[in-house]
């Protein structure tokens, strides 16, 4: 058996896979908040949150987010700042921005109703084939595949697919395969059952074949090769980057924050003044130079701590350096602001800066004398 496109699915095998999987799902599906109704907006929010994030982490965010923005209209009329704040801590903030923009489009162009049409749904910002398939099949019972990493793993084992699953062409063939398997009457349940099997049983390193409903259908199991699948090109390790964060305070104990550039890592989010360093840059000097170049001279203080944070492509190794503004009445560079304790709490700070704040002992007691 080679390419997924070449897999021959005889009707009897299709019937067996459908009925065994759906029967197992009925008995084993987890009771998750987004499974309690079929509101397409709620399912959409859950699917976006679940990208690259574990179910247990998502649940409290999902519940809070929907309490705050219960309908597409509520989300559309919120400011970006409010949306990012509600997303704070979940990471991958472009997901929140795209969802916000897409829901605004749903409100302005579709009267607030998530489109049922696959083409229209796929044109919305940030909506890829997986998200469109999940929302349309679960909410509207449309026979559209939703092939995520879990489904690809199950398929690659069931049908011994020897190709690299990170290739778009392979994903497309898997979608074609899923489309053939999806039953007319229960597309949403079938898609969720496949994902659930991948999440609970056919897990990456040690699949529980002894309790798998598809064990008799599975070619990889039959050949004793389950762990050889899926075939995946090794991704590049995140590139280590040294940065310095400034914890710069004024006479009143306020802290300086900088809005990140509109594009790139943590785009548009608030953080501590941040400068990338060469390996041998002294952090205090680098911070001083960075602020001076922005037209805001400071006196650097001592090193307050170290933080490491891994993004998908980069690994920040940050040194947090204290500092004080040389003249607090000087104008701030564009996109910089002072924030007192209260105000700081209202800023949606990405996790890496939260980490930095937490490594600074008694940060709000720091005065200029300490620095």
Catalytic residues: 47
Considering the rule CB under 6 A, would residue 132 count as an interface residue with ligand SF4?
A: no
Which of the ranges 13-21, 52-60, 82-90, 199-207 carries the binding residues for ligand SF4, by CB under 6 A? 199-207
Considering only 21, 194, 214, 242, the residue that binds ligand SF4 (CB under 6 A) is 214
Considering the rule CB under 6 A, would residue 207 count as an interface residue with ligand SF4?
A: yes
Considering only 114, 158, 178, 193, the residue that binds ligand SF4 (CB under 6 A) is 158
Which of the ranges 121-129, 208-216, 244-252, 340-348 carries the binding residues for ligand SF4, by CB under 6 A? 208-216
Considering the rule CB under 6 A, would residue 165 count as an interface residue with ligand SF4?
A: no
Within 8 A by CB and 6+ apart from 12, the residues are none
Considering only 107, 127, 202, 291, the residue that binds ligand SF4 (CB under 6 A) is 202
Considering the rule CB under 6 A, would residue 84 count as an interface residue with ligand SF4?
A: no
Considering the rule CB under 6 A, would residue 368 count as an interface residue with ligand SF4?
A: no
Considering the rule CB under 6 A, would residue 246 count as an interface residue with ligand SF4?
A: no
The residues in 222-241 that bind ligand SF4, with binding defined as CB under 6 A, are 226
Considering the rule CB under 6 A, would residue 157 count as an interface residue with ligand SF4?
A: yes
Which of the ranges 46-54, 139-147, 153-161, 164-172 carries the binding residues for ligand SF4, by CB under 6 A? 153-161
> Minimal distance in Å, beta carbon 277 to ligand SF4?
46
Distances from the Cα of 54 to the Cαs of 58, 59, 60, 163, in angstroms? 6, 9, 11, 27
Considering the rule CB under 6 A, would residue 151 count as an interface residue with ligand SF4?
A: no
Considering the rule CB under 6 A, would residue 114 count as an interface residue with ligand SF4?
A: no
Considering the rule CB under 6 A, would residue 220 count as an interface residue with ligand SF4?
A: yes
Considering only 154, 182, 194, 304, the residue that binds ligand SF4 (CB under 6 A) is 154
Considering the rule CB under 6 A, would residue 121 count as an interface residue with ligand SF4?
A: no
Q: Tell me the CA end-to-end span of the chain in Å, nearest whole number.
A: 67
List interacting residues with ligand SF4 (CB under 6 A). Answer: 154, 157-158, 201-202, 207-209, 212, 214-215, 218, 220-221, 226
């Amino acid at each position: 058996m080679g390419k997924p496109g070449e897999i021959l699915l005889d009707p009897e095998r299709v019937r067996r896979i459908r009925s065994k999987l759906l029967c197992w799902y009925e008995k084993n599906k987890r009771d998750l908040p987004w499974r309690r109704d079929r509101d397409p907006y709620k399912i959409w929010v859950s699917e976006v949150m679940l990208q690259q994030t574990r179910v247990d982490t998502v649940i409290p965010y999902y519940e809070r987010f929907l309490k705050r923005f219960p309908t597409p209209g509520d989300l559309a009329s919120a400011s970006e700042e409010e949306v990012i704040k509600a997303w704070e801590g979940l990471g991958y903030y472009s997901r929140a921005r795209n969802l916000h923009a897409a829901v605004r489009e749903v409100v302005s162009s579709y009267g607030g109703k998530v489109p049922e049409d696959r083409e229209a749904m796929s044109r919305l910002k940030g909506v890829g084939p997986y998200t469109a398939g999940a929302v349309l099949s679960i909410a509207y019972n449309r026979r559209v595949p939703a092939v995520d990493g879990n489904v690809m793993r199950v398929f690659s084992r069931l049908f011994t697919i020897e190709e690299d699953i990170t290739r778009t062409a392979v994903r497309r063939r898997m979608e074609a395969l899923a489309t053939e398997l999806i039953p007319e009457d229960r597309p949403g349940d079938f898609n969720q059952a496949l994902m659930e099997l991948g999440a609970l049983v056919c897990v990456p390193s040690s699949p529980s074949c002894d309790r798998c409903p598809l064990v008799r259908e599975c070619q990889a199991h039959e050949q004793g090769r389950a762990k050889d699948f899926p075939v995946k090109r090794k991704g590049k390790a995140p590139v280590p980057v040294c940065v310095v964060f400034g914890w710069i305070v004024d006479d009143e104990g306020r802290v300086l924050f900088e809005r990140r550039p509109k594009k790139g890592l943590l785009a548009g989010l608030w953080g501590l003044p941040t400068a990338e360093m060469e390996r041998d840059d002294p952090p205090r000097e680098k911070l001083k130079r960075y602020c001076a170049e922005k037209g805001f001279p400071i006196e650097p203080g001592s090193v307050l701590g170290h933080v490491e944070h891994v993004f998908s492509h980069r690994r920040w190794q940050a040194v947090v350096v204290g500092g004080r503004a040389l003249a607090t009445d000087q104008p701030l560079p564009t996109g910089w602001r002072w924030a007192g304790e209260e105000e700081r709490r209202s800023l949606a700070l990405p996790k890496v800066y939260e980490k930095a704040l937490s490594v600074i002992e008694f940060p709000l007691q720091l005065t200029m004398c300490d620095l």
